Amino acid sequence: MFMHVQRLINEIVPDEPDPAAANALQEGLGGQFGEMRTMMQYLFQAFNFRGATGKPYRDLLYGVGTEEIAHVELIATTISRLLDGSPQYKGKATKPVDEPGKGGATPLSIALDHSNIHHYLVGAQGALPVDAAGNPWSGSYVYNSGNLVLDLLYNLMLESTGRLQKCRIYEMTDNKTARATIAYLIVRDQAHENAYAKALESLGINWGATLPIPKTNAEQFPEVKKLLDQGLHLKQYTFSADNLSEAGKIYRGTAPASMDGGELTTQTAPEGFPMDIAVERPEEFGPGLDPELLALVQATAELELKDADDPLVAAKKK
Amino acid sequence: MFMHVQRLINEIVPDEPDPAAANALQEGLGGQFGEMRTMMQYLFQAFNFRGATGKPYRDLLYGVGTEEIAHVELIATTISRLLDGSPQYKGKATKPVDEPGKGGATPLSIALDHSNIHHYLVGAQGALPVDAAGNPWSGSYVYNSGNLVLDLLYNLMLESTGRLQKCRIYEMTDNKTARATIAYLIVRDQAHENAYAKALESLGINWGATLPIPKTNAEQFPEVKKLLDQGLHLKQYTFSADNLSEAGKIYRGTAPASMDGGELTTQTAPEGFPMDIAVERPEEFGPGLDPELLALVQATAELELKDADDPLVAAKKK
Amino acid sequence: MFMHVQRLINEIVPDEPDPAAANALQEGLGGQFGEMRTMMQYLFQAFNFRGATGKPYRDLLYGVGTEEIAHVELIATTISRLLDGSPQYKGKATKPVDEPGKGGATPLSIALDHSNIHHYLVGAQGALPVDAAGNPWSGSYVYNSGNLVLDLLYNLMLESTGRLQKCRIYEMTDNKTARATIAYLIVRDQAHENAYAKALESLGINWGATLPIPKTNAEQFPEVKKLLDQGLHLKQYTFSADNLSEAGKIYRGTAPASMDGGELTTQTAPEGFPMDIAVERPEEFGPGLDPELLALVQATAELELKDADDPLVAAKKK
Amino acid sequence: MFMHVQRLINEIVPDEPDPAAANALQEGLGGQFGEMRTMMQYLFQAFNFRGATGKPYRDLLYGVGTEEIAHVELIATTISRLLDGSPQYKGKATKPVDEPGKGGATPLSIALDHSNIHHYLVGAQGALPVDAAGNPWSGSYVYNSGNLVLDLLYNLMLESTGRLQKCRIYEMTDNKTARATIAYLIVRDQAHENAYAKALESLGINWGATLPIPKTNAEQFPEVKKLLDQGLHLKQYTFSADNLSEAGKIYRGTAPASMDGGELTTQTAPEGFPMDIAVERPEEFGPGLDPELLALVQATAELELKDADDPLVAAKKK
Amino acid sequence: MFMHVQRLINEIVPDEPDPAAANALQEGLGGQFGEMRTMMQYLFQAFNFRGATGKPYRDLLYGVGTEEIAHVELIATTISRLLDGSPQYKGKATKPVDEPGKGGATPLSIALDHSNIHHYLVGAQGALPVDAAGNPWSGSYVYNSGNLVLDLLYNLMLESTGRLQKCRIYEMTDNKTARATIAYLIVRDQAHENAYAKALESLGINWGATLPIPKTNAEQFPEVKKLLDQGLHLKQYTFSADNLSEAGKIYRGTAPASMDGGELTTQTAPEGFPMDIAVERPEEFGPGLDPELLALVQATAELELKDADDPLVAAKKK
Amino acid sequence: MFMHVQRLINEIVPDEPDPAAANALQEGLGGQFGEMRTMMQYLFQAFNFRGATGKPYRDLLYGVGTEEIAHVELIATTISRLLDGSPQYKGKATKPVDEPGKGGATPLSIALDHSNIHHYLVGAQGALPVDAAGNPWSGSYVYNSGNLVLDLLYNLMLESTGRLQKCRIYEMTDNKTARATIAYLIVRDQAHENAYAKALESLGINWGATLPIPKTNAEQFPEVKKLLDQGLHLKQYTFSADNLSEAGKIYRGTAPASMDGGELTTQTAPEGFPMDIAVERPEEFGPGLDPELLALVQATAELELKDADDPLVAAKKK
């Protein structure tokens, strides 16, 4: 079973909307080497795991797999924030649709030549389960051979490729929202490389100076360097609510995928950061509860919903 | 963020291996209306949610979405158990491969005319992220229009269709392992129908006698009746580790998708059932840690792994 | 615009249910060279047609394309009839679900080892838009190069391949329902080969003795021979409700794809055959209007529906 | 069986070529919620329909399904007109290819940064069976559960989503050709929402003020308002050539998906608008009958084709 | 550039037709880890190679990639031979179609419940570019990150997975034709594991006792043991027609993926085995040149074709 | 079996990087009518060929199929050269990553609005197995009906469509690198049209003036004219290393797909042009052997690699 915590695993740093950056980040969400894939791959490997003596390996897969769900949440929310408001539509919030067509106005014209048109047409300025070229995520990406050594080797290659692609995305944009999330995921990928490389070390491989693959010298990216200095690439969370995870039996000792050979440690979970909720976008006909529905809800269901005086709501409306 | 608990949301009832039943259950895992889809759809709707006043609706989506991850875990594990050992291969556990080709033996010949050949060829008698006809799961299944009413209407239809298909699967097999999981999921789908139908009621719809759709009279399936008698279709879990979920503001009052109109209630999470780990299958070359690797691990990594005297391990070897 | 006539283009000959034959026919419906593809290909070629001087060619495409919609209707209905009742479930019609799980009964167990499991699990013993191997139909099949000669050449090859595959399907089964529809479509494919071959003759090609490709000697299939004797391969329908089609300017003279060189003629439409409606199947939870819903409909909507005394309804219930 | 009428269901309003608008409209043609999908979904539901007492429901599906074929024709033709001539190539019509490469001329350079490159490279400035992101249409989109209530619920959601997406497309462009077709389809989608909502009302649902979903206030789009004022959202065509359709038994009474509650009525078919044929485009090597072929045709086939004096041909050549 | 040699890289050992074995082998041809994929992956890596100092690595990729084309040829031909004649149709060769429908004969009924129905319906008892579950091969399988170390690591994992799957296929069937080809490919995969493992050793990795992954003890399969005894897993062909390949600079020294540590050597190409041509199958309407066409060819083209007295032809007809 | 020659079948003419042209050329590589498809289609037709009397036809398929592998190599290399260096990144070659993020530099920002983003994100400025709209190549493209006449007819249409598309690509760009490769492939497609048209002539078809389809008057493209003047459209290579090919029995006599009716001849192979290797691109983290790895290789593996004094290396570094 899984539990949800209403905190994001990393902070969404504010900056201007940027649909092109949002689209590049889609590769990290729904791409062949993105977070949906790592999530599903590690969970399937954990569900189908064989051999009770290998429980620490299974628990490692469960821990990283559970973290990847939080990464899916983080990168999807980041994409959503990068898209949100990009059309710069100034319709009044009190009217669900502010006469968009009057006089030939085209509030969504941005969709025709920015990002993936589906971000505005199929979704409502939100993340999609597709890659940066628009291909939907596919179950055929998931690798689970049933042979532990092969699965670990694939996972190492998968994390390395994910990191390689994120380093390239970092170089594509200087939007702060995009870079903060990407930098965080680069360092976490390196932590996961350490996890799988260490597991393979326990099975006899000596990586020499090969790892990390690729040697991106990523510490030269300022946001990445800051996190490396904090040792975020040397820590693994178990996300084990009942603390039964034995992943720490593997994730300890010297880090193989690290150029300075730090010591690996585990902890249950990071503290996280507050989540907020995006505003409504009338030009997408994307109301949640517009005032009319809100009144209806309060009348028929007697729900005690937050009203406009709520500070969170008020803050978002500015 | 998400946390993992090492408990299954429902019990895996033991019975004989049954690859045909396993394959039918794949529709419930990786099919267009299966658990991977409900999981991803509700999580994307939660990530992209708009309108802070609608937080109870978002939290409902998060709660059901988090439950669906546990359903993916449950049905994947069920499929894995239904496949496990189906080839009836009697190779000794102490030798990783017991001369399978000697004298023309064909320990995996079952793969040629049972189930999906990939269950033995690509996976190792484990669940795959595909449907019952072998199509890989696709991100194009996820529906998230950004309009709350439409999303809720789709979700209601999705749960109803999922339940319809599971009732058909129930009728395809009398394997106890398969039926226990299917019956549990039928009743939980009905709970989720209640969730989305209730949310739509709050927006003005009166369902009359239309719900549940379909009227499967499923209480005539003994395993389903037992769970309905326990009121499992009237309960929703928030899976909210920090108890910040406001889903209970919606999920309360009379159940719309229930023929006897019970009262809806919420709780954090069910107690769950113990998880075990499958044995190794040498005929799949699917060792985790065969004795040789185990020795290596103990030598190089000094891991304190369970040994063969461990009761869990011993129990599985019988 | 298009109009519908409540008649099938050919008769559905009765025989026993036969899910294996139904599945083979799926290739003719949703396969790469099946009727959905010919329909879409010719209609797209007609919609995108260039050059007003070529109107007879466009009208030929519209005529054959419109006929293909009727072929989709015919083969889908045939598949539906071949599947209908194949589980041999004897539940009483007056109860929507006749306690299917009682005592472990498995009314849909046939789904596990016959046909495509989706015929019982996703559909309700009805046709699906997929091929005989279960692949969904794809828009990438449609060929419309925008060059008239190439489009005609492709269409000739397409009809020939469709006929080749149908001759193979004929050889796979002796079910009368399946063979009657297949035989009809074989002969109509030959008529369409004549159409495209003739159009290419008008552009300078002399086919010699090459056509029909393949030389299936199909007149040795008794059902095919009967239709050839009626000259059905020499006739083209315009399906032109306003009789503005000029297809007859091309479809006339000696038939190129015919071993005995008959004369081609056009007419508006065939007379057709009556359509009926399948019975409800409670084991699929596939009621349309079960008695309860029927009562509801009559109460709330005051619809004047046929009742059980209606001869058509009564006939089906026997 | 189906018949074709050489009239478009709505007028193509002239404006400048606009490949970006053309591409956005592809979602309405080949997208997951576009016209190819509604067409196929309703026709499959009609072909596989169960229960003779429900004939009015089946006939409703046939009627809307047949209308959708005309919508496919309308939107495909609109896309074709929006693309046609967009490269602004001025080669003389009398020479099939006017030395395009001479001196490095690049008559199709527009393809590299406008629209979908396949519009110029695979098609010849014509519509394709793909969505706005270039994904080919898939048979997996078609929903036909075999349970009437679920099918109707899905259809209502499908029409609402189609309308939502078209409202977004309307906001993306002010091209008159695009907007006229989109506005027409928005209003027809609302008519179809009325059809399915009404059918569900007959089964006991009271929609309250929920419908139409979404509340787009679309009457504020001038082209839409004009059609609503004509009551086009309250009328359903049977497209029943033999007038055997009983759809009118359902489609009558007060409109549920309409904010002013008009009365629903049926009629056989609209009058329609004349169709024309696009000119040839030598830069696509897309001749139908260039003069050389025309001469050949007249010589070998003695076809009585329209010549250059034909007013329709002359009109297009201006 | 590439050249073809009319020799197969290994012998096709004769045995009875076996469509189930043929279908299992499809995974090795068109599966995600099959020969079409290794071929394409290594060739793309070679085409896109960066860094002139790394020419030996590029040449290694070219050599293995070129060998994989021969493997595609070998396994496709093996599948073709396993399917060929499986329907046991005894029609006379002198008549293209021997009245297949007469009296209800169903010469292709085997297609309904053996193998992949497309083997008889779309192909004519020949290999298809699909996997064992019928999924078409996809370009999305090809991995070419542009980072040499990652590409090599992926290739090692790819060869190991291919070998794992082939060991499983070996265990599914005892058909001699299937096993001979599978055994050969198992050993060649091990040679390629040596290639990529050695290349990674040159970059600093010490594999310890980890390789080969998996430890299949495959020498216990008699056909595999025979080839290992010949040292076939220690040899790499350059397939370099101009002998410019520098792959031998890497492929030398001690074998890492070999339990007995033999010495690696390179040579240009193996000697190969004669190819033959399958007979015609009238029940598939799959004539090449039936007597009628043969006469035509000889008349019109004056081709000097082999006639029925040719020993090769005669041998096949027995 | 196949052999590789380290020569390209045509010269890569130098010009500036041009990602838009590169992307258009992807259609010719991985599109439905591109070189990967012709390669696979002809090879599968050769592998599955039936009828020993038809060996010249099989050998023709082998010859053209082998040539298509060289075309895949040529067009992939061309795309790679068109992409290579397009980001204009000036990082020093001696440092693997030249502080790309310092001060917000975005060396790969070109990826956001040029070409296919995957060219920079998934690949490293290299060719991908996808079409110009980003769709991965699919095995479902391959046509091999098993009927010789149909296969030949399809192949003729395939070559004609490939040529049509390449003529359109030629008109999209005046980049010399792109046009040189495209022009070469246009003329080779015409040679292959001659091959299949001639084979069909031998079976009785008289093409009249229909061929070549389309009549592109391509001799007006200067690069094409030059090659036509050399008669490159009248020559077919057997690529038969052992000279056992009998393709010359068909490919001789008057050319059908040629407006001036030249004489067809065969030869073994063209001379070809030198291949080079692209430089490393640190901004893609795409080193092959950076200096550090090079040192490592030389230390551990004692490989005799080219060093920086090598003229080829030096030339590329300028």
List pLDDT tens digits, range D261-315: 799 999 999 999 999 999 988 888 876 676 777 777 777 655 655 443 433 333 3
- Rounded to whole angstroms, the Cα distance separating E63 from E237 reads 7
Dump pLDDT digits (tens) for D192-210: 999 999 999 988 899 988 8
Q: Which of F121, F284, F290, F293 to mutate to test the interface with A (most CBs of A within 10 A)?
A: F121
User: To 10 degrees, the CA torsion angle through F173, F176, F178, F183?
Assistant: 100
Arithmetic mean of pLDDT, F103-124? 91
Across the range F77-91, mean pLDDT stands at 92
pLDDT in tens, A189-211: 999 999 999 999 988 899 988 89
CB D191 within 8 A of CB D159: no
Residues B209 and B295 in one domain: no
- Residue B97 reports pLDDT greater than 70: no
Size of interface A-F (CB pairs under 8 A): 83
Same domain, D86 and D151: yes
pLDDT in tens, E116-165: 999 999 999 999 999 999 999 999 999 999 999 999 999 999 999 999 99
Using a CB-CB cut-off of 8 Å, the residues of chain C touching F204 are 207-210
**Across the interface, do A157 and E150 touch by the CB < 8 Å criterion?**
yes
> Which of D110, D141, D172 is most worth mutating to test chain A (most A CB atoms within 10 A of its CB)?
D172
* Chain D residues inside the 8 Å CB shell of A287: 214
Residue A178 lies in a domain: yes
* CB-nearest partner of D47 from C2, C77, C240: C77
Contact C149 F207 (CB under 8 A): no
pLDDT of residue A217: 64
- Which of the residues in chain D have pLDDT under 70? 92-103, 216-219, 287-288, 290, 300-318
Whether the CB-CB separation of F56 and F250 falls below 8 Å is answered with: yes
Interface size between D and F, measured as CB pairs under 8 A: 83
B28 lies in the same domain as B83: yes
**How far is the CA of E216 from the CAs of A40, B96, B143, E181, E225, in angstroms?**
27, 8, 44, 17, 12
The residue among B183 and D304 whose pLDDT is bigger is B183
Measured between CA atoms, the residue of chain B closest to residue D137 is: B140
Q: Does the distance separating the beta carbons of C111 and B172 come in below 8 Å?
A: yes
C302 within domain boundaries: yes
**Given this model, what pLDDT does residue A285 score?**
82
Res. A41: pLDDT tops 60: yes
> How far apart, in whole angstroms, are the C-alpha atoms of residue F14 and residue B23?
55
CA distances from E313 to B280, D269, E301 (A): 51, 64, 21
Domain identity same for D155 and D182: yes
The pLDDT of residue B298 is 73
Do F314 and F242 lie in one domain? The reply is no
Does the distance separating the beta carbons of B112 and E172 come in below 8 Å?
A: yes
Contact between residue B53 and residue A306 where contact means Cβ atoms under 8 Å apart: yes
Name the neighbours of A, counting chains with at least 3 Cβ pairs within 8 A: B, D, E, F
The answer as to whether E161 is a domain residue is: yes
Yes or no: say if B308 and B273 are a contact pair by the CB < 8 Å rule: no
pLDDT for res E16:
96
ipTM: 0.93
E282 in a domain, yes or no?
A: no
Per-residue pLDDT tens digits for E63-100: 999 999 999 999 999 999 999 999 988 765 445 454 55
Output the domain CATH number for residue C126: 1.20.1260.10
Per residue in F157-168, pLDDT (tens digit) is: 999 999 999 999
pLDDT tens, position by position, E197-232: 999 998 889 998 889 887 766 567 889 999 999 999
- What residues are paired with D130 via a beta bridge? D136
User: Residue B313: what pLDDT?
Assistant: 35
Q: What is the mean pLDDT of chain F?
A: 89
Residue D141 to chain B, least CA–CA distance (Å): 9
Q: Is residue E245 part of a domain?
A: yes
F148 shares a domain with F31 = yes
What is the rounded distance in angstroms from the CA atom of residue A108 to the CA atom of residue D178? Answer: 14
**Local confidence band at A32 (pLDDT 50, 70, 90 cut-offs):** very high
Same domain flag for B257 and B136: yes
Which residue in chain B has the smallest CA separation from A43?
B73
CA angle A65, A68, A74 (to 5 degrees): 160
Nearest residue in chain A measured CA to CA from F283: A168
Statement: residue F203 has pLDDT above 90: no
Q: Which amino acid is at E2?
A: F
Per-chain mean pLDDT for chain E: 89
Give the Cα separation of E314 and E309 in Å (integer): 6
Token pair of D293, please?
């072929």
Tokens of D135: 């994904």
Contact F137 E139 (CB under 8 A): yes
Q: In terms of domains, do A144 and A175 share one?
A: yes
Name every chain A residue with its beta carbon within 8 A of the beta carbon of B6: 62, 240, 242, 244-245
Is F204 a residue whose pLDDT tops 90? Answer: no
E124 and E67 assigned to the same domain: yes
Is residue E249's pLDDT more than 70? yes
Q: Report the alpha-carbon angle A157-A163-A166, nearest 5.
A: 140
Across the interface, do D101 and F23 touch by the CB < 8 Å criterion? no
Examine chains E and B and say if they touch (3+ CB pairs below 8 A). yes
Nearest to C25 by CA among C184, C194, C157, C139: C184
- To probe the interface with D, which of C4, C130, C152 has the most D CB atoms within 10 Å? C4
* Among B99, B102, B111, beta carbon nearest to E172: B111
Q: Is F213 within the bounds of a domain?
A: yes
Chains adjacent to C (≥3 CB pairs closer than 8 angstroms):
B, D, E, F
Q: Which residues contact A29 (CB under 8 A, 6 or more apart)?
A: A35, A36, A72, A75, A76, A79, A127, A129
Domain that holds residue D313: 288-318
Tell me the residues of D at the B interface, defined by beta carbons under 8 Å apart. Answer: 32, 135, 138, 140, 145, 147, 149-150, 153-154, 156-157, 160-161, 164, 200, 203-210, 213-214
Q: Is residue E2 part of a domain?
A: no
Task: Out of A104, A134, A287, name the one closest to residue D133 (CB).
Answer: A134
Backbone dihedral region for residue E212 (phi beyond 0: left; psi -120 to 50: alpha; all else: beta) = beta
Report the chain D residue with the minimal C-alpha distance to residue A118: D133
Are chains C and A touching, using the cut-off of 8 Å on CB pairs and a minimum of 3 such pairs? no
- Structurally, chain A folds into a number of domains equal to 2
Question: pLDDT band at E101, cuts 50/70/90?
Answer: low
Q: Are residues B129 and B257 in the same domain?
A: yes
Taking CA atoms, what residue in A is nearest to D21?
A: A112
Q: Is residue D181 part of a domain?
A: yes
Q: Do F145 and E124 touch (CB under 8 A)?
A: yes
CA distance A197 to F101: 27
pLDDT by residue (tens digit) across B11-44? 999 999 999 999 999 999 999 999 999 999 999 9
Percent helix, strand and coil across chain F, each rounded to 5?
50, 10, 40
Q: Is a pLDDT exceeding 80 seen at residue F303? A: no
Q: Is the pLDDT of residue B170 over 90?
A: yes
Chains F and B touch (3+ CB pairs under 8 A): no
Distance, in Å, from the CA atom of E172 to the CA atom of B87, rounded to the nearest integer, reads 10
Which pLDDT score, from 0 to 100, does residue C194 have? 96
Please indicate whether, in this complex, the C-beta atoms of B285 and E216 are within 8 angstroms of each other: yes
Q: Count CB pairs under 8 A between chains B and D.
A: 75
pTM: 0.94
Low-confidence stretches of chain C (pLDDT < 50) are 93-94, 96, 98, 307-318
Do F213 and F293 share a structural domain? Answer: no
Taking CB atoms and an 8 Å cutoff, what residues of chain E touch A32?
140
C-beta atoms of F316 and E52 within 8 A: yes
Q: Do residues C196 and C252 share a domain?
A: yes
Res. A301 pLDDT band, cuts 50 70 90: low
State the Cα torsion C108-C113-C115-C117 to the nearest 10°.
Answer: 60
Distance in angstroms (rounded) separating the CA atoms of residues B230 and B270: 13
Identify the closest residue of chain D to B140 by CA–CA distance: D32
Burial B280-289 (b: 16+ CB within 10 A, else e): bbbbbbbbbb
The answer on pLDDT for A305 being more than 80 is no
Closest CA to B196 of B261, B121, B255: B255
Nearest Cα neighbor of E233 from E287, E176, E195, E289 is E195
